[in-house]
Chain A
Amino acid sequence: MLLNQFLILGAVLFAIGVYGVLARRNGVMVLMSIELMLNAVNINLVAFGVQHGVVSGQVFAVFVIAVAAAEVGVGLAIVLLLYRNRRSINVEDFDLMRG
């Protein structure tokens, strides 16, 4: 099977995700980008799992998906909290503490 294509897809997705995290100012978009990265990982895992013909890859992927859900939940909660207190979800604004 075409392992490499999957890997490349994964890598590309991952790269996009990274770019998003580092470049987008909107908190929510950052969260999305992280999801993107996680899915890149899932693709890799599943692909490898199939290549090796073992189930663990998919199991791992399932775990990742589950955890990702939880993470995003917490993430949104925090962003919401910030929005309530600061009226902004622009990650650039949050630099009360530095140095």
Chain B
Amino acid sequence: MDVLLAFTRPSLDWHALAPELTLLAFGTLITIVDIIWDERSKQAMPTLAGMGLLATLVPILTLAVDGTERSMFGGAYVVDDFSLVLKALFLISGYVVVLMSVDYIRDGDYYENEYYTLMLTSLLGMVMMSSSRDLISVFVALELLSIPAYMLAAWRKGGPRSNEAGLKYYLMGVFASAVMLYGMSLVYGLAGATSFDAIAQELGSGPSNPVAVLGILFVLIGFAFKVSAVPFHTWAPDTYEGAPTPVTAFLAVASKTAGMVALIQLVFVAFLGREDVIQPFFWVISALTMTVGNLIALRQTNIVRLLAYSGIAQGGFMLVPFAVAADAPARAIEAVVIYLAIYAFMNLGAFTVVLAVARKTRSGEIDSYGGLFRYAPGLAVAMTVFLAALAGIPPAGGWFAKFGLFRALLDAGGGWAAGLAVVVAVNTVIAFAYYARVLTQMWFQPVADGDDRPIVVTGALGAALTVTLLATMAFGVLPGLVGHFGEVSVLSALGG
């Protein structure tokens, strides 16, 4: 029992925790402001939230400049380049989402202040996730980012679809996390410790052990759910369609990224030794996810739902490198991180356009995009760029993400990898088929219901659009920008 009593207060590295604390501070600040001047504060909220996110970037920059790797709580919580890159990514995408939300939330009947509080909280969870190197902290981070997301998904109080979206997301979410926890308990049982390094040592090698396999699988499945990998994707389309569009964007980008981050940690640090489980698992999952996502997307008529399935397929692409995690770890991580970064911008951009168009057409149907190019050429071109990026066509950013996958696969080499590469190739083709349906509507079709008044793009949306558009194109023309982050994150993640 003395073991249990021997408790010493861990040393806190405030600089390392600065981002989380800033975020937390702004979250509370918003709440307080809300309590003090509730109604009158509405206008200030998005600004506050945005400031909060930007402010949080400051300590991240200082940490990046400082560059030393910081570890706390016995390695449960680590701040290294990898985590910093992803924290930054979370915050920037969060900021874009806030920009997207401004008008949407203001114009609909929503609880406005809480909305931003919850979003900041969820982002806090994500930021923590990127630093967590321990089953417990991963679990806590996961729940911290999920629970607010459940609520946000149901945020349109009156809307049955939104409620249903929330319910589905919630039930499936907790169910999955229960499964995951069970897996974690087994893993813990075998490793006798919760930190990834320890797990890596215990499970790393040695004869295969059914319990270990079961544990690993369940843990992975928990996160596979988070990144909406087939067959654990079922919640995604419904939730995306039902949830308020900014929230959808948030889920599709930020929370998916969070899931990926966790997976990177688990796969490349904790379970790397068990490639006999990991690689086949992800081979199957990624192939399934890409293909099923793309195929179903072919049949969608609602743009958001189409983007949902496209998002699932994209997730499948991101999972591809995991299939060669052990054979080419460095390239694999690089590929995933790069993909995440580029994906965040191109997908957010696409959603931004959807929002902008929906403000006029009040419809999510693809047909409502007819002749967009005639009356809103700017938006049409922007959408074209984003879809091209998603399809992976140079010079829009996406090609480099896809390129990363191929690179990882071929670096690993071997028949399986090559096979998966071909699957990816085929899927890029299928994918374009449905992106093209949107393009076709925008460019080739007459204006829907003859109403060709131009679309007014609000300042916030305009800003979001600019950011995403610039980033997408920049990543396409000078992939070095994003490639660099991929590189640095590899070194730290693999502790090299």
Contacts and interface: CB of A to CB of B under 8 A. Distances in A.
Question: Are chains A and B touching in the complex at the 8 Å CB cutoff?
Answer: yes
Nearest to A45: B185
B485 interface: no
B211 to A, nearest CB: 9
Contacts of A34: 171, 174-175, 178
B262 to A, nearest CB: 15
Nearest to B187: A48
A81 B164 contact: no
B182 A59 contact: no
A14 B151 CA distance: 26
Interface string B183-205: 01110110011100000000000
Contacts of A38: 178, 181
Nearest to B139: A63
A71 B154 CA distance: 14
Given A45-B185, A67-B139, 4 more contacts: A21-B171, A44-B185, A75-B170, A78-B166
Contact of B167 (A56, A60, A82): A82
Nearest to A73: B147
A96 B150 CA distance: 18
A26 to B, nearest CB: 12
A45 B192 CA distance: 10
Interface string B128-170: 0000000110011001000100110010011011011111101
A9 to B, nearest CB: 13
Contacts of B163: 78, 81-82, 85-86, 94
A67 B241 contact: no
B242 A70 contact: no
A30 B164 contact: no
Interface in A40-99: 40-41, 44-45, 47-49, 51-57, 59-60, 63-64, 67, 70-71, 74-75, 77-79, 81-82, 85-86, 91, 94-99
Contacts of B168: 94
Contacts of A53: 3
Interface of A: 7, 10, 14, 17, 21, 27, 30, 34, 37-38, 40-41, 44-45, 47-49, 51-57, 59-60, 63-64, 67, 70-71, 74-75, 77-79, 81-82, 85-86, 91, 94-99
Contacts of A37: 175, 178-179, 181-182
A50 to B, nearest CB: 10
Overall SS of chain B's interface: helix
B4 interface: yes
Given A48-B192, A63-B140, A94 B185 contact: no
B5 to A, nearest CB: 9
A48 B185 contact: yes
B238 interface: yes
Q: Which of B3, B139, B175 has the most CB of A within 10 A?
A: B175
Contacts of A78: 150-151, 154, 163, 166-167, 170
B341 to A, nearest CB: 30
Interface of B: 3-4, 135-136, 139-140, 143, 147, 150-151, 154, 157-158, 160-161, 163-168, 170-171, 174-175, 178-179, 181-182, 184-186, 188-189, 192-194, 237-238, 241-242, 299
A10 B160 contact: no
Nearest to B175: A21
A71 B174 contact: yes
B135 A60 contact: yes
A85 B160 contact: yes
A87 B213 CA distance: 44
Nearest to A93: B164
Nearest to B198: A56
20 contacts: A10-B182, A34-B175, A37-B179, A40-B182, A45-B188, A49-B188, A54-B3, A55-B4, A56-B193, A57-B188, A60-B185, A63-B136, A70-B147, A74-B150, A78-B154, A81-B163, A81-B166, A82-B160, A97-B238, A97-B242
A96 B139 contact: no
A91 B167 contact: yes
A30 B171 CA distance: 8
Contacts of A21: 171, 175
Contacts of A86: 160, 163
Contacts of B151: 74, 77-78
B140 A54 contact: no
Contact of A97 (B143, B147, B165, B189): B165
A52 B165 CA distance: 42
B157 A81 contact: yes
A59 B174 contact: no
Contacts of A74: 147, 150-151, 170
